[in-house]
Structure 1
């Protein structure tokens, strides 16, 4: 009997190999379900330097990308033909990734369902939050399933980071953690670090006031940890940045390294669009192709008339008629009418943008019709009353 395919089925690449069994964890009271005893898994990871776990902190609600995230949780939003989470994990060399542990709560069943079917080169384990726990609590919630040295990543970062550099520094300096760092002009919205000549972190301050700034190097949300980190994380809700890192910095148990290239927190329409632009420029896709500065999912994409389209993601069935698009993301079967001008706009699948529309930094829901002559900026569609 035929059954309806889930929304994400279009993203799958059929693998010739049968799917691996994957396990999930209700972390409040449940131990890992595995065919191997936990002690053997611990010993295996301690003995094999080529194999480690990657924890992805994915506990947010994706509020700034609504209404897309009402249906699709942010970790599995499609950026080109891969999910955001897959892009995040790519900073770790693929031969180092044994298992990805996803720590989250919002629509976690959808994330689990996606990765049961997805063709990825690693196992995926789900650790569930029954309530928001903060960055420290979310990581601490994984203490029963994570062992040895591991990588921990914030779940919405698109960057040029090569985590091998961090692994090498961690091997050299030891300690409990090694943090990736990014240089900015104004560090006050971020966590800042002081770094000595040996790349050991001497201070950590989250969101300093202007008079408290002692560095322009900020925490880039990507870490190498030893499992000793769990000794510093209390049970329940806590913050790595406010409660754990300052203590470890004072004890000189953290290292830090900066990197160049690009660093994007893809949590807003504007930054999502920057992430798409960077992913196109650096060819971060499995299939499809780049035409000029755009990514085309396949040959069903049609750009008609005198349209001007740049730095945009054009999924299957996209149809653009005499319109201007810059840094836009179009999911499957989107139509854009003539004389419309769209900038940094995200359009859900099966949606139509009418004629003569002007949309700037707008997120359009799936299965929507935006009427002719609509003008919107920094908004959601349908409009929230």
Structure 2
């Protein structure tokens, strides 16, 4: 099942800049490519690594500064390059549909429902009826400096069925690794290799340009792009790879979520609020008497005499005096008592931490 949500004109958060130049960031100043494309966002996962945040809200709708995570994923796609966003949604897809029906302006959005888990390949194949020609595709929690027009340019130059954005890492064993030849064609692709199997430090960065021909090599049912599709295309010589520099974050874990917040702050990926001493504040000012950095403060956050580092406090969070927070994700309306010490903790909306509690690597829901 899919639902097409038209450009609705005026509204709240949007894929347009205030001046209508691009979907999220700088306008495209370079060469024009041959045609605009659709962009598919694979956003069907449950987001279990961010629970209990995602118990009631799908990961694509989690707020990262003044955007949703999904809007941060497509930030910066230039006007004239992307003409429609296709969201492959599964978990709580009704909320995603409702959000974008009410909020989006400036670009068409189509929601394709995944009624059962299909994997990255199956989720994309599920969009076959609404995608045509050449299209871009993004994993639903990737925040990066990638210029999709650069991927499109290499793809047009080399041809083939797909072109992958690539990122260099020191330890590639947790990722899909890619080997390139001199013309930037992919000659090897292996998902999550053992240390002795590593042949490259370039990893799949979760952003692609694909032709609709990719659907011809996809098996039926649940399958993986990384394990079942890309290796096959590489063997056939129909896959290219483009390394890029800047920043790349998979914001699907508590720690990497904080990395994403810091990257969005550092690169001005917001329209409202203000950055104060390295933290983004929805109200334009930081809570009084708080030592902080690399954090995100929603509206109405109350805290005094506390230290808050690399943490996200959503609307209405209250933190008692003398508490120290590091790597904390606090859901809206949660309450942290006085004299608490929290490290790498995820609190669901309305969760309560009693005075003096010490929590490390824990998750807590509302009582």
TM-score relative to the length of structure 1: 0.85
Counterparts in 2 of 1:114 and 1:184: CA distance versus 1, 3 Å: same
Is the contact made by 1:166 and 1:224 (CA closer than 8 Å) also made in structure 2?
Answer: yes
- Paired position in structure 2 for 1:308: 291
- Runs of 4 or more, structure 1, over 4 Å off, are none
Deviation at 1:365, TM superposition (A): 1.1
Partner Cα distance (1:209, 1:190) in 2: 10
In structure 2, C-alpha distance between the alignment counterparts of 1:143 and 1:198, rounded to whole Å: 30
| Aligned partner of 2:313 among 330, 340, 359 | 330
Residue in 1 that maps onto 2:6: none
2:235 alignment counterpart: 250
In structure 2, the residue matched to 1:226 is: 211
| Residues 98-117 of structure 1: pairs in structure 2 closer than 5 A | 98-117=83-102
Counterpart for residue 57 of structure 1: 42
Aligned counterparts of 2:116 and 2:84: Cα–Cα separation in 1: 24
CA contact (8 A) 1:179 1:219 kept: yes
TM alignment of 1:212-291, pairs within 5 A: 212-291=197-276
Q: Which runs of 5+ in 2 are unaligned?
A: 1-10, 16-32
Distance between the aligned counterparts of 1:80 and 1:345, measured in 2?
15
String of CA shifts for 1:40-66, please: whole Å, max 9, x gaps.
xxxxxxxx9342110011121011111
Decide whether the 8 Å contact of 1:302 with 1:317 is kept in 2: no
The residue number in structure 1 matching 2:27 is none
SS in 2 for 1:303: coil
How much does 1:383 deviate? 8.6
The equivalences for 1:38-49 within 5 A come to 49=34
| CA RMSD across the alignment | 1.8
Give the whole-Å Cα distance in 2 for the aligned partners of 1:165 and 1:286: 25
SS of the aligned residue for 1:304 comes to: coil
Superimposed CA distance per residue, residues 7-48 of structure 1 (whole angstroms, 9 cap, x where no aligned partner): xxxx93599xxxxxxxxxxxxxxxxxxxxxxxxxxxxxxxx9
Question: CA–CA distance in 1 between the matches of 2:79 and 2:177?
Answer: 29
1:145-170 Cα offsets, whole Å, 9 max, x none, are 10011000000011111111101101
- 8 Å CA contact 2:298, 2:315 repeated in 1: yes
* Post-superposition offset of 1:121: 2.4
Distance 2:95 2:314 in 1: 18
Q: Report what 2:193 is aligned to.
A: 208
- Checking the alignment, whether the CA contact within 8 Å between 1:349 and 1:366 is kept in structure 2 is yes
Q: 1:256, CA displacement in angstroms?
A: 0.4
Pairs aligned (count): 340
Report the Cα distance in structure 2 between the residues aligned to 1:168 and 1:14, rounded to whole angstroms. 27
Equivalent residue, structure 2, for 1:381: 364
SS in 2 for 1:95: coil
2:19 corresponds to 1:12: no
SS at match of 1:373: coil
2:176 to 181, 191, 207: 191
Question: What are the Cα deviations for residues 186-219 of structure 1, in whole angstroms up to 9, with x where unaligned?
Answer: 1111111110110111111111111111111010
- Please, what TM-score do these two structures have when normalized by structure 2? 0.89
